[in-house]
Amino acid sequence: MERRFHCCLRLYFTPSILGGSVDIARGVSGSQRANVVPGQPISLPNPSALEWFNTAAFCVPGASCVNPVASAFGDAGRNTIEGPGSIILNMSINRSIPIKESRNLDLRFTANNVFNHVNFASINTAVNSLAFGEVTSVGNMRRITVQARFRF
């Protein structure tokens, strides 16, 4: 029997502004950072798929949201949003059954994500998006495969 267990692998995300005017003038989109709202915590005590982090902690740089240096560029740091972790348990069982002198039947049962735990994979970090702060994708669900090989 073979087991592989992965726990608590986390991804980190950077808050950005989709289609920011400073970015468009430079010919790129989505690389301008948001501003951090002072006094607002980034993480939530009980995150959900609809709000993984405190969306009130970030704002679009402008007249209503100015950073300490009054720059048009946001002051949010890179990888400041802690993303969801993952818990994955993979298992496999092998069995070789001798049939005659030089013949064997090899069986292999493999299961990925045995407990079918939901692993959120990505979150929307574009401040001016309607889905800001929401989980946008999940990892693989449970998959079981059976293999048989007859060797002669």
Cα–Cα dist 128/59, whole Å: 8
Is the confidence at residue 77, as pLDDT, over 80?
Answer: yes
Summarised one tens digit per residue, pLDDT across range 24-69 is 666 666 578 889 999 999 999 999 999 999 999 999 887 888 888 8
> What share of the chain has pLDDT > 90, as a percent?
50
Summarised one tens digit per residue, pLDDT across range 97-123 is 999 888 999 999 999 999 998 989 899
Q: Which two tokens stand for residue 111?
A: 């299961």
Q: Which is it for strands 87-100 and 135-138: parallel, antiparallel or unpaired?
A: unpaired
Identify the CA nearest to 135 among candidates 127, 123, 119: 123
